[in-house]
Structure 1
Amino acid sequence: MSAAAARMPHDPNMLGRQRVVRGGGHGDGHDSGHGHHEATGHGEGGPASKRVTVAYGFWIFLLSDIIMFSGFFAAYAVLAKASAGGPTGAQLFEPLRVAEETGLLLVSSFTCGLAGVATQAKNRFWTQMALLATGLLGFAFMVLEIQEFVGLIARGAGPNRSAFLSSFFAVVGCHGLHVTAGLLWLGTMMAQLQVKGFRDDICRRLLCFNLFWHALDIIWVGLFTVVYLMGMGA
């Protein structure tokens, strides 16, 4: 017997484990199944990248935010006709202003998507330009919304006039606060990108901002439909 043969293991279980590790899917069904599902936490069988886990955690935050907005939507649906003899949505809402607000926010969603594409290409100039366009469009949206609120209050249709107006100011104002927070976040990200470049943590934050801004656009589409369109139709 040669020295190499003498050094080979005689344990059949050890030989079986070696076949699973080396053979992968070439063993029988039982062994290949166990070899496929045993992850040691290293290499391809290990945990997901930080980019994936950060995005997953941020999605959980967005879903909790959407649940909060669902409560505001439900309150508005219940109180939409409780005008207490005061003005209704059909008398107060201005279709042209609402259309302008919607157009601005939808276009800002497009430019935000362009910023994401430029980020993947590591093009700092176009990323900054797309983020700047997103911020300007979002700022114009907020100017129109603030003008709407000021005009309603000046006409005696403030949030204390009726339950309908209280719910209207609550749901639309909550969305406006989110847009304002998004604009502050956007300015911070532009400054960080200019100073630090496309570091991994900066790219992850830009990804989260994209998710946040697109979620605000989706919520606005719901507001536009349930609050404004249905309100003007009524």
Structure 2
Amino acid sequence: MAAGADPTRDTPELYSESPPDTLSMRTFGFWLYMLGDSLIFTALFVSYGVLQNNYAGGPTASAVYTPFHFLFESVLIYFSVFSVAMGMRGLARGKRSALMLWFCLALAAGGIFLGIEIYDFNSQVALGITPLRSAFLSIYFTVVGTHGLHVAVGLLWIVVMLFQVGLKGFSAAVIQRLLCLEIFWLYQGFIWACVFTFVELWSAI
């Protein structure tokens, strides 16, 4: 090699940058968003632990909770999570019809879950059990309602993805959105386990 020659001139492939993996980067970014969401729920659960016995002469936990509804909601939300996971297997196999079928089942189960939650809230409000009655009721409605809001967003997202898969198939953009949806929906199942444990079971002890 001649003196002063650039040793990298003849081997540029060793030093060239690889093209960015857009799918991995965006999925990682969504994981970071979910981490921020986790901090919100952590704060809510800590607040619930502090305020759960502050009834202020109002309804107690036993007057608010409906164990059968909570159990039935658990079955529904986990069936919905399972359905989304099975739908993503359809994506892995390139079967659009399988994904759409499983996502429709997930949508139905999640819709019934949300309907039961809304029914319980309406029934409680009709009995005068409102968030303004006590600190306990305030945090109860906030924790359960925040999770319910996330479920509602997820259901809307499933509807949008059903339309996109039907119209565009498995394009790169659609696959990215499906992966983020799967992460989001699995996370809702995890958060519901925390709600069921810390809000229902913990208060029942």
For Structure 1 versus Structure 2, the TM-score category normalised by the shorter chain is over 0.9
1:183 partnered with 2:155: yes
* Higher-RCO chain (CA-CA 8 Å, sequence separation at least 6): 2
Inter-partner Cα distance in structure 2 for 1:92 and 1:188: 35
- Which of 109, 124, 142 is the matching residue for 2:96? 124
Q: How far apart are residue 91 of structure 1 and its match?
A: 2.8
Q: Partner of 1:160: helix, strand, or coil?
A: coil
Q: How far apart are residue 208 of structure 1 and its match?
A: 0.4
- Which of 2, 13, 21 is the matching residue for 1:10? 2
Deviations 1:209-232 (A, max 9, x none): 000000111111000000011112
Count residues with an aligned counterpart. Answer: 205
1:159 partnered with 2:125: no
- Which of 56, 59, 62 is the matching residue for 2:34? 62
Deviations 1:142-186 (A, max 9, x none): 011011111111222111111000000011101111110111111
Question: Which consecutive unaligned segments of at least 5 residues does structure 1 have?
Answer: 1-8, 23-34
* 8 Å CA contact retained: 1:108, 1:137: yes
* 8 Å CA contact retained: 1:105, 1:217: yes
| TM-score, reference length from structure 2 | 0.93
Q: How far apart are residue 13 of structure 1 and its match?
A: 7.0
The one-letter code matched in structure 1 to 2:111 is F
* 8 Å CA contact retained: 1:91, 1:232: no
* 8 Å CA contact retained: 1:192, 1:202: yes
Change (3 A) 1:156 1:123: same
Identity between Structure 1 and Structure 2 (%) = 32
Inter-partner Cα distance in structure 1 for 2:159 and 2:6: 60
Larger Rg over CA atoms: 1
